[in-house]
Structure 1
Amino acid sequence: MAKRKPISLTNYVTRILLAAFAIIFLILLMALVGFQLLIQFNLITPANAGETAARAEIDRLRQAGSFTGELNSQLYEYVYFDQEGQVQESSLTGNALKQAIERHPAEDVTYATGAYVSFPDGSRCLFTWRYTAYFTNEILQRLLPSAEVTYLSSVGLVLLLFLVFYTRSISKKLRQKLVLVEAASQQIAQQNLETPIPTTAGIREFNQVLHSMENLREALKTSLLKQWETQQQRTQEIAALTHDIKTPLTVINGNAELLLEDPLDTETKQLVQAIHNSGTKAQHYVSTLQQVANFDLISYEKEPLAVDSLIRELVAALSPLAKAKNIQLSYNYDQPLQKITGSAFMLSRALNTLGENAIRYTDTGTVTIQVKQTDNETHFCFEDQGPGFTSEALQHATEMFWQQDKSRTGDNNYGIGLALAKKAAQQHNGQLVLENTENGARVTLAIKNNASSNDPTGRS
């Protein structure tokens, strides 16, 4: 089947208008033919039926030579005057009678809507008519206005209905074409850059817009892919660099420790101790950078995960820490727990961070870990009995390398734990919620059960 060639918007609108005019002309033509058929089948009278009937009566009365009074005034009106000019009989009354006499004052004048007939005795009769069609059925004459008005009203109603339905039909067709443009914009807004955008709407201008949006999708996809590849390359370089830096730092710290074991004078020992402390701190910084780099490198690897297994690993990791501080761990979760789709590394790292933070900031009491599931989401909730978050920490604690006030920080806290936990939540289409309770703080990691990848390359 040959592909239809797109047309311009001007031609499309012209076709719509021409089609509308053609159908309107056809309706009017059919109305005219129908009106003639109604006259032919004697359902309505022609417009000059009143004049024809009146003149027939005039001829009959002239032959009779007097006013007989046997008149059928269904199609015309009459007024009979005696020799004195007084009205003796009429089909009209009141103002209608007065107006008919005023419009036809003289019998020797030719009128378009009236005529006189005179009799030998000096009396006369005025006949008047109107050029309009009548229903031949008396019931219809009483119930409806004139046939012309009724018929024209019917034709007008048909035209109005046609315009309404035709406009709705054209609007629907245009809406279907505009939906393609709207769907394309939504697709790009939702970052769905893998699915090609349809570029055929049947109208040249619409096709051009869709082509532009398809080119935009391709450009965005290429740009984001290059950006992602560049980011991955930089992350790998940072991971390799931090790995290489660890070796000389280990040598420096090892030699510093050996020197500290030797007998040194006070000044030299202080210098060596400063070298060892700085090297230790540098090792912590390098370790932090390495964690961030490794987290980014494998953040997109997702698979079906058993929540029970994640909890068992979490219990095994947190139990020694809680035991060392004589803190009780309380686990509360629904049974059975359905599987979720996600990155085991990301979620384990995030859950361990939240659990370790809760234990770190609780001096005495209980750390409660609760898991709740709905059909769409899984919530991991950690509650501690520590000092809670400050108002500033509630706003900035999830920012990378942000260090909160001393009420919830430690010597080795470099502001990456909550930032990585938030990133893990976002990569699973969820969120990390920080809040305070009456007894401490609560951190909730909420994720979608079937989290799709946000990788611009389209991998899962």
Structure 2
Amino acid sequence: MAKRKLTSLRSVLLRYLLLCGGGCALILVLWWGIFMQLINLGFLLPAVASAQACADARETVALMTADTFDPLQISDLCRWAVVQNDTVLQTNMNDRHLKIALNAFHGGSGNLRYTQYQYDVKMADGSFCLLQYDYATPYADPALRDTLPDFQTFYFVLLAALILVWLGWQTHCTVRVFAAETARLNAAVDAIAARQLEHIDTDGVRIREFAATLQALQTMGRELTDSLQSQWRMEQQRTEQIAALTHDLKTPLAVIQGNADLLAEDDLTAAQHGQVDAILRGTDRARRYLAALRTAGEPPAAKKHMDSHTLVQSLAQTARALCAPAGTTFCLEERWQGNLLAAESDLLRAAENLLDNAVRYTPRGGTVTLTTAAEAGLFLLRVTDTGPGFTPEALAKAGEMLYTDAARSDAAHQGLGLYFARKVAQSHGGVLVLSNLPAAHGACAELRLPICE
């Protein structure tokens, strides 16, 4: 296929200006030619005809008196008025023209239009004849002058109308060109959004700059598609990693639970029975977590109304079981109790993940605090600790699947806790907010969820 020749944007605008200017010049030439032809054909009189007629009338009326004044000897191209002692004896002017003539006769100014002229001719008996004419192109036929509008005014209005119509048409045509090019750009953006790069039309483009933009959009679309495909492959790899992790964890969990069950059958002290029960509860939670990992891609669990106090008490029991062997102190601050619309198992698991992280990174003798409160229509579940806090990298990336902070990672930490917490917060219309406490006194992880009305 032969390569199409494109037009530059500069050429389009230059063509528009040339067509506008050239068309206006042509209209003006034709307008003037028709105007002169009408004069040559005798349909119109030249503008000097009125001035000549008035000059001839000046010589005629100078020999007349007020009594012998004969209007038939004055051309109808002139307007006249005979004035004696400030009294108008005869006139062919209308009231407006007569008022202007008398004002000019008495030394007034600013009343005659720029195309009007007036002679004050003194007659033989001392009276005055006021002669007035318009420097214009009148109709040659007196009957037409009396019935039709002023030709010169009409003809100038016609010229302005023709120029405006021509400019409007050229502007309309140019706008259509730009609209078509812009429509192709919009269609290209829609095609990229729909990931249908084959629908981007670059064949019909006419302007070089728009063609370059479309090509850039095509390139961007391809790179975006490649990026999305790479991201999809990465997500697939992560899913496979999670599947492998859950499979590998089933065996050690079964060993732990089996041995804990055997220990529970022995004669143990009350403290030992409590420790075995904590092991069994922990393995049960771990099994639930593995089940949740296997269904990570499925829709969130169904939400139902639940009491926040019940949730907090369950979390407090878990937190104490986590803190006791770690040598840390647990504090509970329940500042609000109310009704929540949530998936109880998911929300419980997300909060337990926050508590587990806090206990893991709090040194022995430190404190983990669970606080619940309400603020601006939100339920706040906040877990703080007295550990080293988050690194800047962790604050930026924590919550991503399988992310582990190099400065804080360990073999038991797979970067899933905060990821689940963030996903649960989002599924409930809330957010997970991570921060460090002032003066580097520990970390803070906070779930912010809407309160059920």
1:219 equivalent to 2:223? Answer: yes
Amino acid at match of 1:195: L
- C-alpha distance in 2, partners of 1:74/1:89? 15
Amino acid at match of 1:71: Q
| Structure 1 counterpart of 2:287 | 283
| Structure 2 counterpart of 1:153 | 157
1:193 equivalent to 2:187? Answer: no
Give the deviation of 1:435 after TM superposition.
Answer: 7.7
Listed one character per residue, the Cα deviations across residues 322-343 of structure 1 (whole Å, up to 9, x for unaligned) are xxxxxxxxxxxxxxxxxxxxxx
**SS of aligned partner of 2:20:** helix
Give the deviation of 1:237 after TM superposition.
Answer: 1.0
1:43 equivalent to 2:47? Answer: no
| C-alpha contact 1:185 1:213 (8 A) present in aligned 2 | yes
| C-alpha contact 1:252 1:279 (8 A) present in aligned 2 | yes
Distance 1:390-1:24 versus aligned 2 partners, 3 A rule: farther
| Structure 1 counterpart of 2:15 | 15
| Structure 2 counterpart of 1:74 | 76
| Structure 2 counterpart of 1:228 | 232
| C-alpha contact 2:350 2:424 (8 A) present in aligned 1 | no
Listed one character per residue, the Cα deviations across residues 246-304 of structure 1 (whole Å, up to 9, x for unaligned) are 0221133223323444x445477666555444333322222222221xxx2xx6xxxxx
Give the deviation of 1:201 after TM superposition.
Answer: 3.8
1:402 equivalent to 2:404? Answer: no
- C-alpha distance in 2, partners of 1:282/1:398? 14
Amino acid at match of 1:240: A
Distance 1:156-1:399 versus aligned 2 partners, 3 A rule: farther
Aligned residue-pair number: 320
1:254 equivalent to 2:258? Answer: yes
Distance 1:51-1:32 versus aligned 2 partners, 3 A rule: same
- C-alpha distance in 2, partners of 1:101/1:5? 73
Q: What is the TM-score with the length of structure 2 in the denominator?
A: 0.52
| C-alpha contact 1:394 1:435 (8 A) present in aligned 2 | no
- C-alpha distance in 2, partners of 1:21/1:241? 77
Amino acid at match of 1:45: L
Listed one character per residue, the Cα deviations across residues 361-400 of structure 1 (whole Å, up to 9, x for unaligned) are 9xxxxxxxxxxxxxxxxxxxxxxxxxxx947767999879
Aligned match for 1:132, one of 112, 136, 144: 136
Listed one character per residue, the Cα deviations across residues 84-110 of structure 1 (whole Å, up to 9, x for unaligned) are xxx9988676764896999xxxxxxxx
| C-alpha contact 2:57 2:75 (8 A) present in aligned 1 | no
Question: Percent identity of the aligned residues?
Answer: 26
Distance 1:204-1:239 versus aligned 2 partners, 3 A rule: same
- C-alpha distance in 2, partners of 1:177/1:167? 16
Distance 1:2-1:90 versus aligned 2 partners, 3 A rule: farther
Q: How does 1:382-421 map to 2 (within 5 A)?
A: 390=338, 401-403=349-351
Q: Which moved more, 1:265-274 or 1:171-180?
A: 265-274
Q: How does 1:427-438 map to 2 (within 5 A)?
A: 436=452
**SS of aligned partner of 2:197:** coil
Structure 1 spans left out of the alignment, 5+ residues: 82-86, 103-111, 120-124, 300-345, 362-388, 408-413, 426-432, 438-460
Q: Which moved more, 1:201-210 or 1:13-22?
A: 201-210
1:175 equivalent to 2:195? Answer: no
- C-alpha distance in 1, partners of 2:16/2:71? 61
| C-alpha contact 2:78 2:132 (8 A) present in aligned 1 | yes
CA RMSD of aligned residues (A): 5.5
| Structure 2 counterpart of 1:27 | 27
1:245 equivalent to 2:249? Answer: yes
Give the deviation of 1:241 after TM superposition.
Answer: 1.2
Q: What is the TM-score with the length of structure 1 in the denominator?
A: 0.52
